[in-house]
Amino acid sequence: MTTKRETIVTAIRTALIGTTGVSTRIYRSRVGPISRAESPAIVVEPLSDTADQNTSLPTLDWSLTVRVAVIVRGEIPDQIADPIVESLHAKIMADLTLGGYAIDIQPIGVTFDIVEADQPAGVVMCDYRVQYRTSVTNLAS
């Protein structure tokens, strides 16, 4: 069995297929750096997942933070990333249940990291909170 957490992160990566400008360069938890030739690209990774037991039922309410990082190169990196961010946001928010696995998805915020490189580079990090529920004893259901 696969945990709902893993299913949700995989579903987000799948939902991002077709995002403007990145072709097939959508990576799941990629740890290697993105070269200039590989840009623009997207990296999807989980940041944290916290649980609360809010009901008397044997369930856990989870709050999963997922980061979608857009890596671009160009003279004005944040401007180059803008249509990609617009596109990925629309794709993630198109189905707030991610195929029935999530209760809700909420944008948390966007962080910009613009750095000097052989061509100016930018990493635009879009963070989302995904709420979902599991049973107390089984993270897959």
Partner 1 sequence: MAVTENLSGFLYDFGVSCTAGATTALGILDMPSQVVAGDMVLTTDYVLTALATDFGTLKYEDVITIAGTAYMVRETRFIDDGAFVEIGLQKT
Interaction site with partner 1 (CB under 8 A): 31-36, 43, 69, 71, 73, 113, 115-123
Q: Which is nearer to partner 1, 32 or 100 (CB)?
A: 32
Measured from the CB atom, the residue of 34 and 92 that comes closer to partner 1 is 34
Closest approach of Cβ 138 to partner 1, in Å? 35
Q: Which is nearer to partner 1, 33 or 100 (CB)?
A: 33
For the CB of residue 118, give the shortest distance to partner 1 in the complex, in Å.
4
Encoded tokens for 58: 């044997």
Residue placing its CB nearer to partner 1 in the complex, 53 or 119: 119
Q: Which of 4, 21, 7, 1 is nearest to 81 (CA)?
A: 21
Phi/psi zone of residue 115: left (φ > 0), alpha (ψ -120 to 50 degrees), beta?
A: beta
Closest CA to 71 of 125, 123, 19: 123
Query: How far apart are CB 136 and partner 1 at their closest, in Å?
Result: 36
In 3D, which of 97, 71, 64 has the Cα closest to residue 85?
71
